[in-house]
Structure 1
Amino acid sequence: MAIWNLGSINEDIVLSVPHIPAPGETLAATKREVFLGGKGTNMSVAAARAGTRVNHIGAVAKSATWTGERLLEYGVDTRHIVILDTDPAQAMIMVAADGENAIVLQSGANGEIPQAKLQEALSEADTGDWFITQNETNLQRTGATLARKMGLRVAYAAAPFDADRVQAVLDVLDFLILNAVEAEQLRQATGQGPDALGITDVIVTLGSGGADWYHQGKLSHFDAIAVDPVDTTGAGDTFTGYVLAGLDRGMPMAQAIGQATKAAALMVTRHGTADVIPDLSEVQDFQL
């Protein structure tokens, strides 16, 4: 089987700071690094490193073609990434000494993916493949609806959270993943908790608190693995990519979550985003 990811591709500009600045505060960064990133990219790299076939659907600016080339190096099929004469997609990421982060996004090419490219890509998909998308690109509702009609299993990562965009796809989802803050935002928008959305599988990630999995409304909890974090950026995306890869490879959800929990724990011990996502051998060798 395979995963088809309608996902963002960013240049991540990471600034190390003493702490996340308060409103009106100016801080001097202690370090600047540039990585491949974007929620979609991180998920694609994680799923590929977890051992499944990943096809990325997206767009990059002419000035940022290195991002697509790097994705290819990491084992992702990039034939359905279009190059546009537009602004590059960038994320400005501040990482504090305690590992917490704050992120500002410039959507650039991510918001200009042509519908024809989406349709062309999904014409190659097979029944039973997975389709995943997030809120950093255009065409989420179009892609999710088309994928469902074609017999794909449809997953959605509800970040960055937008109540209208999330609600627009709820009726075509097999799997929804969101963090605790996003789950509460969705509850406020819909009046429904994760157990009452009518979606077969919902995962709420809780950071160091682990994750809650709702299968047809029934709750199971999974503890996180205690590590000393240095950078939490991309940990949630790594978790999502590993869960989807496990499901695509035929794992039961509980086993896929267990493997993804290890991957996310390794990820927070590293500085960076897509470039430092652990591969399957590292996750399997990870000692609790």
Structure 2
Amino acid sequence: MTIYNLGSINVDLFYQVPHLPKPGETLSARGVTEGLGGKGANMSVAAARAAARVCHIGAVGSDRVWPRDRLLEYGVDTRHIATLDGQTGTAVIAVDPEGENLILLNAGANARISDHAISAALSEAQTGDICVFQNETNGQRHAAETAKKMGLRVCYAAAPFEVSAVRDVLEYLDLLILNEIEAEQLQTGLGTSLDDLPVADVLVTLGAKGCRWLGAAGEKTFDALAVEAVDTTGAGDTFTGFWLAGLDRGMPMEQAIGQASIAAALMVTRHGTADVIPDLLEVQEFMQR
């Protein structure tokens, strides 16, 4: 099967700072690095490294096309990544010594993906494939509606979070993943509990506390692995990519969550985003310890 990912592609600029800046504060960074990022790109790389077939739907700007080529190197199908006039998306990421981060985004080409391009990519999909998207591109409702009509499992990774964005695609979703704060915001915004959402499976990530799965059989909590975090950037995206790859390969939900938890735990012990996401062999070796 295949995972179709309508996802953002960014150039990430990482600044190592002594602490996250306060309003009006000027900080001297201890170092800066450049890498591949964007929630969409991170998820595509994670799913590909988890042995899934991944087709990325997105766009880069004519100023920087290397992120598309990097995705191809990581095993992602890039045929449906357009090159548009203008800027590739960028993210400025400040990371403190405890691994916490602050992120500034510029959408660039991520906000100019055509409905035609989305439809062309999904026209290759088969019933049972997965379509995932995040809130860093345009075209989310079109992708969700098209994928649902074609019999795909539709997943929304609801970040950056907006209640209106979730509401716009909610009727098409089979899978919804969001963090603890986003879950509270969604319940407040919709005036309903997660249990009452018209979504078969809802996954709430809890950071170092693990995650909650709300499905047909009720609610189940999973503990996170205890590791020394140095950078939490991209951990949630890594979790999502490995989770979907597990489901795509026919894993039971609990097993897919367990695999994703290990991948995310390994991820937070590294500095960077897409370029340092662990592969399936690393996760399996960790499981055998």
Q: Distance in 1 between matches of 2:87 and 2:250?
A: 39
Aligned to 1:79: 79
Q: TM-score when scaled to structure 1?
A: 0.99
Q: Distance in 2 between matches of 1:192 and 1:246?
A: 30
Q: Pairwise CA RMSD of aligned residues? A: 0.9
Q: Distance in 1 between matches of 2:182 and 2:227?
A: 24
Aligned to 2:164: 164
Which runs of no fewer than 5 residues in structure 2 stay unpaired? none
Contact map agreement 2:9 2:88 (CA 8 A) in 1: no
Aligned to 1:17: 17
Q: How does 1:120-139 map to 2 (within 5 A)?
A: 120-139=120-139
For residue 201 of structure 1, report the CA deviation from its aligned partner. 0.3
For residue 60 of structure 1, report the CA deviation from its aligned partner. 0.2
Query: What amino acid does structure 1 have at the position aligned with 2:152?
Result: L
Q: Deviations over 1:81-133 (max 9, x none)?
A: 00000122000000001000010100000000011111110110011100000
Q: Secondary structure at the match of 1:91?
A: strand
More off after superposition, 4-13 vs 195-204: 195-204
Query: What amino acid does structure 2 have at the position aligned with 1:87?
Result: Q
For residue 198 of structure 1, report the CA deviation from its aligned partner. 2.1
Query: What amino acid does structure 2 have at the position aligned with 1:100?
Result: E
Q: Distance in 2 between matches of 1:193 and 1:246?
A: 27
Q: Distance in 2 between matches of 1:198 and 1:122?
A: 24
Aligned to 2:188: 188
Residue 44 in structure 1 maps to residue 69 in structure 2: no
Q: Secondary structure at the match of 1:169?
A: helix
Contact map agreement 1:47 1:54 (CA 8 A) in 2: yes
Query: What amino acid does structure 2 have at the position aligned with 1:185?
Result: Q
Aligned to 1:263: 263
Query: What amino acid does structure 2 have at the position aligned with 1:150?
Result: M
Q: Distance in 1 between matches of 2:239 and 2:171?
A: 24
For residue 26 of structure 1, report the CA deviation from its aligned partner. 1.3
For residue 196 of structure 1, report the CA deviation from its aligned partner. 1.6
Aligned to 2:205: 205
Q: Deviations over 1:251-287 (max 9, x none)?
A: 0010000000000000000000000000000000015
Contact map agreement 1:176 1:202 (CA 8 A) in 2: yes
Contact map agreement 1:198 1:216 (CA 8 A) in 2: no
Aligned to 2:89: 89
Aligned to 1:119: 119
Q: TM-score when scaled to structure 2?
A: 0.98
Q: Secondary structure at the match of 1:103?
A: strand
Q: Distance in 2 between matches of 1:117 and 1:6?
A: 10
Q: Distance in 2 between matches of 1:197 and 1:216?
A: 12
For residue 217 of structure 1, report the CA deviation from its aligned partner. 7.0
Residue 63 in structure 1 maps to residue 63 in structure 2: yes
Contact map agreement 1:183 1:193 (CA 8 A) in 2: no
Aligned to 1:277: 277
Contact map agreement 2:2 2:55 (CA 8 A) in 1: yes
Which runs of no fewer than 5 residues in structure 1 stay unpaired? none
Query: What amino acid does structure 2 have at the position aligned with 1:255?
Result: Q
Aligned to 1:30: 30
Q: Secondary structure at the match of 1:155?
A: strand
Q: Distance in 2 between matches of 1:163 and 1:64?
A: 32
Q: Deviations over 1:58-97 (max 9, x none)?
A: 0000111000000000000000000000122000000001
Aligned to 1:214: 214
Residue 103 in structure 1 maps to residue 121 in structure 2: no
Residue 5 in structure 1 maps to residue 27 in structure 2: no
Deviating runs (4+, > 3 A) in structure 1? Answer: none
